């Protein structure tokens, strides 16, 4: 209706392409993108405005690419480029799509074209550094990062924009550090810091790299410098608590966490931001808990909860710590509180099912899983979200199966599958459970179904080989070959 209305107007705050983009998104969300394409192309709209038509084709390409249908995206980026060859972003998007397809040479070609075009396009909403970052990644993925560095440094591009050049050097550092080439990364972080000494993230990245090298003092110094620099800035992509968390980690790795706590509390930073201070205390709790110092962790979780009682994750972390201490009732109480708090929030980093899973584990550890099931089913929670409810039933199945109560596990896997028949892992878990009780035919059938479903489920976190391996294992156990 918005599209049709806009066609009747001589002027509006938005052009017709704006409304067409949202129509494309709606069709895509409904799984009917090809229907939209047919309607759009038959309409002939925007034929007299090729630059606007290009925007729609670029959007279609993005929608296909975001749905992991990269091969279907490419022709639409090609159409966008043909209609409007002045937009670097279309070339950049094509490069990104080829990167996802691991066709590195094609990715490099399009990113290079985007870079060259951007040099001639001062009005582009993205800086030259933006395209150079993607080009560096493509060269890196192709195993040719040194070649990129040579091209970039010879070009002299961004010499008059040191802050932008710093962004590219920081990216090179990240690529090397994330590939366990920490020593090679450090000089690029140093170059970034020299070119733009106003960005704490460069110091933080160098600190993280020294942490990975086990050079604790250098890590601490860089993270300290990041903290001090962030204090001087009115704005940054990250808040002060972000840098303090990494400083805490560096001190912890060096076996000096108490020294960090003393420094942090004496400075009084974040006293006027209790929610941010709570984040640091939660991090301290995590560091202690992960070092098997659970009793020492608990007071810091308590401080975090006191400072910011709106974060269920702090209660959940304290519940996990009590679980590790074998204090089941305290664990249950904290996980219950996390669940109840999460119900009151419109948003949180985790959904309600996340907290319910940990509550189920605590009840199971206490030998009271059936009590949890009764509470959960009476609550009616997640009835309106069958996929989330399925996660809980799958977890219950796992807890029974892990306790060698396989027969009790099976009905819960069945419930999970019924509520969400799109998840191969539920079929796989049921197959594993049938294998444990030597019901081989049922195990084979479940694993076969999991494999077939996985072929259609591109977003599944486990590869097809994962599901195949379990079917092969069953055939091996019964002395048969997989037909």
Alpha-carbon separation of residue 110 from 82, 103, 126 (angstroms)? 14, 11, 16
Write out the DSSP string of 43-56: H-TTTT-HHHHHHH
Report, as an integer, the average pLDDT of 328-345.
98
Tokens 């733009």 correspond to what residue? 196
Tokens 């890196």 correspond to what residue? 140
Between CA 224 and CA 248 the distance in angstroms is 10
Burial of 254 (0-12, 13-18, 19+ CB in 10 A): middle
Burial of 285 (0-12, 13-18, 19+ CB in 10 A): buried
Alpha-carbon separation of residue 217 from 139, 177, 190, 214 (angstroms)? 33, 18, 17, 9
Q: Would you tell me how many other CB atoms lie within 10 Å of the CB of residue 417? A: 23
Between CA 327 and CA 313 the distance in angstroms is 19
Report, as an integer, the average pLDDT of 74-100.
97
The answer to whether 342 touches 348, Cβ cutoff 8 Å, is yes
CATH 1.25.40.10 residue ranges of the chain are: 169-269, 382-393+407-482
Per residue in 270-293, pLDDT (tens digit) is 999 999 999 999 999 999 999 999
For residues 378-390, one letter each, b for 16 or more C-beta atoms within 10 angstroms of the residue's C-beta and e for the rest, the string is: eeebbeeeeebbb
Helix locations, 84-199, DSSP H: 88-100, 104-119, 128-141, 145-155, 162-177, 182-195
Q: What is the pLDDT of residue 457?
A: 86
Per residue in 419-453, pLDDT (tens digit) is 999 999 999 999 999 999 999 999 999 999 999 99
Q: Using alpha carbons only, how large is the chain's radius of gyration in Å?
A: 27
DSSP designation for 108: H
Per residue in 375-390, pLDDT (tens digit) is 999 999 999 999 999 9
Four-way CATH pick for 382-393+407-482: 2.40.50.100, 1.25.40.10, 3.40.50.300, 3.40.720.10 = 1.25.40.10
Q: Is the pLDDT of residue 482 over 60?
A: no
What is the pTM assigned to this prediction? 0.89
- Distance in Å from the first CA to the final CA of the chain: 55
479: pLDDT confidence band, cut at 50, 70 and 90? Answer: confident
For residues 434-463, one letter each, b for 16 or more C-beta atoms within 10 angstroms of the residue's C-beta and e for the rest, the string is: bbeeebeebbbebbbbbbebbeebeebeee
- Give the architecture-level CATH label for domain 169-269: Alpha Horseshoe (1.25)
Instruction: Specify the range with the lowest mean pLDDT, choosing from 44-48, 149-153, 420-424, 478-482.
Output: 478-482
Identify the CA nearest to 415 among candidates 433, 402, 427, 399: 427
Per residue in 448-471, pLDDT (tens digit) is 999 999 999 878 999 999 999 999
Report, as an integer, the average pLDDT of 50-69.
96
For residues 139-161, one letter each, b for 16 or more C-beta atoms within 10 angstroms of the residue's C-beta and e for the rest, the string is: bbebebbeebbebbeeeebbeee
Helix locations, 156-273, DSSP H: 162-177, 182-195, 200-212, 216-231, 240-253, 257-267
Q: What is the mean pLDDT of the chain?
A: 96
**Positive or negative: CA dihedral 278, 283, 288, 292:** positive
């Amino acid at each position: 209706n918005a599209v049709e209305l806009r066609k009747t107007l001589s002027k509006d705050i938005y052009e017709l392409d704006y409304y067409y983009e949202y129509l494309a998104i709606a069709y895509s969300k409904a799984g009917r993108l090809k229907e939209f394409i047919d309607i759009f192309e038959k309409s002939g709209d925007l034929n007299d405005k090729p630059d606007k038509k290009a925007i729609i084709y670029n959007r279609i390409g993005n929608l296909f690419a975001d749905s992991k249908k990269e091969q279907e995206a490419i022709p639409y980026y090609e159409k966008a480029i043909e209609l409007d060859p002045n937009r670097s972003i279309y070339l950049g998007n094509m490069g990104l799509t080829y990167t996802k397809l691991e066709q590195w040479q094609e990715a490099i070609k399009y990113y290079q074209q985007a870079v060259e075009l951007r040099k001639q396009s001062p009005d582009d909403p993205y800086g030259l550094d933006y395209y150079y970052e993607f080009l560096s990644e493509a060269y890196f993925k192709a195993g040719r990062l040194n070649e990129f560095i040579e091209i970039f440094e010879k070009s002299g591009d961004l010499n008059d924009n040191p802050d932008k050049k710093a962004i590219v050097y920081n990216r090179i550092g990240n690529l090397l550090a994330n590939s366990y080439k920490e020593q090679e990364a450090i000089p690029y972080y140093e170059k970034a810091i020299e070119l733009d000494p106003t960005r704490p993230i460069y110091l933080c990245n160098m600190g993280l790299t020294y942490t990975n090298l086990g050079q604790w003092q250098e890590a601490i110094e860089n993270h300290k410098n990041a903290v001090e620099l962030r204090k001087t800035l009115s704005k940054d992509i990250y808040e002060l608590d972000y840098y303090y968390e990494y400083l805490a980690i560096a001190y912890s790795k060096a076996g000096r966490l108490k020294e960090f706590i003393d420094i942090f509390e004496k400075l009084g930073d974040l006293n006027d931001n209790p929610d941010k201070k709570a984040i640091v205390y939660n991090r301290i709790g995590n560091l202690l808990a992960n070092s098997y110092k659970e009793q020492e962790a608990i007071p810091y979780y308590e401080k975090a909860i006191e400072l910011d009682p709106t974060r269920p994750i702090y209660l959940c972390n304290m519940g996990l710590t009590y679980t590790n201490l074998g204090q089941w009732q305290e664990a249950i109480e904290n996980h219950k509180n996390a669940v109840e708090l999460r119900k009151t929030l419109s948003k949180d980093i985790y959904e309600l099912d996340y907290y319910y899973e940990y509550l189920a584990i605590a009840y199971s550890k206490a030998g009271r899983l059936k009590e949890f099931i009764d509470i959960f089913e009476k609550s009616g929670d997640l009835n309106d979200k069958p996929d989330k409810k399925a996660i809980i039933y799958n977890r219950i199945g796992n807890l029974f199966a892990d306790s060698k109560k396989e027969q009790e596990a099976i009905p819960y896997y069945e419930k999970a599958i019924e509520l969400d028949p799109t998840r191969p892992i539920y079929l796989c878990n049921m197959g594993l459970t049938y294998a444990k009780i030597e019901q081989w035919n049922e195990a084979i059938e479940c694993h076969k179904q999991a494999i077939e479903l996985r072929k259609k489920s591109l977003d599944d976190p486990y590869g097809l080989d994962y599901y195949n391996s379990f079917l092969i294992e069953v055939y091996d156990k019964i002395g048969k070959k997989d037909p």
